[in-house]
Amino acid sequence: MVNLDIKIREADLADLELIVDFISQKSDFDGSKNLLAATVDKLLQTLFCQPPLARVLLGEVAGKAVGFAMFHSSYSSLLAQPCLWLDDLFVQAPMRGIGVGTALLKYLAQIAESTHCGRIEWTVNTGNAPGIAFYQKQGARILENIRVCRIDGNAINLLAGK
């Protein structure tokens, strides 16, 4: 394998269109293009507000962004510690398997370590066997006894009594 120079950096304002493009590519990969509502304006208001609601890492090879990770802070009452929630990890298909995803996760682990996080968590589609294998190779445990619960859209309004 060729030794590539993979660089990880935090996204900035100039990367907004690139971030929207990566989110769109990931929604295609996940089969959820119909749920895509991210826009440059929405991301500007949420990623670059104070404090930011989420942060984005970009993985670059030869100066070109080929993958991203979006994450935000969470908290564990059991650990009484902050945690990180990895909302998205995506590497473009031609660049998979060369270390970009691993580099993004390592950088995220360094952030978690430096901010005294008790864990990093995320979801993975049960049909994404390559993703599951990749995460397990990185040391992740796939928790079979936990299910994602979601209230969104109109259900939020109904529950809130509106």
Q: Is 107 annotated in the active site?
A: no
Catalytic residue among 28, 123, 135, 139: 135
The secondary structure of 12-74, three-state, reads: CHHHHHHHHHHHHHHHHHHCCHHHCCCCHHHHHHHHCCCCCCCEEEEEEECCEEEEEEEEEEE
**What's the rounded Cα separation, in Å, for the pair 131 and 134?**
5
Catalytic residues: 135
